[in-house]
Amino acid sequence: MLTISQTTYDAIVAHAKRDHPDEACGVVAGPEGSDRPERFIEMVNAAGSPTFYEFDSTDLLALYREMDDRDEEPVVIYHSHTATEAYPSVTDIGLASEPGAHYVLVSTREHGNNDGSVEFRSYRIVDGVVTEEEVDVVPALPTD
Amino acid sequence: MTIEVRIPTILRTYTDGEKAVPGEGASLAALIDDLEANHPGIKERLIDSTDNGEDLRRFVNVYVNDEDVRFIGGLEAELSDGDEVVVLPAVAGG
């Protein structure tokens, strides 16, 4: 199960809506081993595409160095689908390289840049196997 | 000559869980061959072999002292003692 705060959930949705019809992407980092998505980090989609996303290679290195310095890991890796459902594509599955991360997919196909609900779903992707999991949106992450 | 190579989570199965391993080589290609000798199987995850020769896999990023190797010669990028090489899989999808 992915437990995520309402603030972070809203930030991911806002990013996806803003970048529609291109795919939006980013990370929510958290302390190593904590499974707590605490630090929301929007990334630029270097592909600038409605059907593909890729972190810029320089940004990617900076991101991993920063997480390393802070003893963090990518707890959530999110991106949007803008014309299809919020389910990992064959490409998503083939390129997934963080077996410990929650892969969040948001679909903006229904309302685009406008207000309105989105599909927000989360998956584990390990060795090409996709497992959907429940998403629990909480007012704040538990402090314990 | 020793070069520190930072290994991403997904490839640590080849390095007994180590986050960084030492390697040797005057070029990135030579370094990867050296890694393969000590961590069999890792080369295939980094390099794509085709009829046109070998190249870095499209969705694997390698940096030498923070420079993306694609801008400094790819597999031919020159290495020196004390260099730091970072391997990071692309975060990408469709």
pLDDT in the model for residue B52: 82
Looking at chain A, which residue has its C-alpha nearest residue B58? Answer: A95
**Which residue do the tokens 């196997």 mark?**
A129
Inside any domain, residue B34: yes
ipTM over 0.85: yes
Give the pLDDT confidence of A95-116 residue by residue, as tens digits: 999 999 999 999 999 999 999 9
pLDDT in the model for residue B50: 85
Q: Is the pLDDT of residue A37 over 70?
A: yes
Q: The domain spanning residue B68 has which CATH number?
A: 3.10.20.30
Inside any domain, residue B43: yes
B73 and chain A in contact, CB less than 8 A: no
Total domain count for chain B? Answer: 1
Mean pLDDT of chain A: 97
All residue ranges of chain B with pLDDT < 50 are none
Question: CB distance A52–B70 less than 8 Å?
Answer: no
Give the pLDDT confidence of A78-95 residue by residue, as tens digits: 999 999 999 999 999 999
Q: Is A27 exposed, middle or buried (0-12, 13-18, 19+ CB in 10 A)?
A: buried
**Which residue do the tokens 């309302």 mark?**
A111
**Which residue do the tokens 């970072």 mark?**
B86
B48 and chain A in contact, CB less than 8 A: no
Question: CB distance B61–A61 less than 8 Å?
Answer: yes
Question: CB distance B9–A100 less than 8 Å?
Answer: yes
Domain boundaries of chain A, sorted by first residue: 2-138
B91 and chain A in contact, CB less than 8 A: yes
Confidence of residue A67 (pLDDT cuts 50, 70, 90): very high
Inside any domain, residue B75: yes
Inside any domain, residue B94: no
Closest partner residue to A61 (CB to CB) among B59, B66, B94 is B66
Q: Which structural domain range is residue B79 located in?
A: 3-89
Determine the distance in angstroms separating the CA of B52 from the nearest CA of chain A, rounded to an integer. Answer: 23
Which of A82, A97, A106 to mutate to test binding with chain B, by most B CBs within 10 Å of its CB?
A97
Q: Which residues of chain A have a CB within 8 Å of the CB of B92?
A: 47, 52-55, 91, 95
Give the pLDDT confidence of B19-31 residue by residue, as tens digits: 999 999 999 999 9
Q: Is the pLDDT of residue A135 over 80?
A: yes
Inside any domain, residue B80: yes
Query: Over the range B42-76, which residues count as b (16 or more CB within 10 Å of their CB) and which as e?
Result: bbebbbeeeeeeeebeebbbbbbeeebbeeeebbe
Q: What is the CATH number of domain A2-138?
A: 3.40.140.10
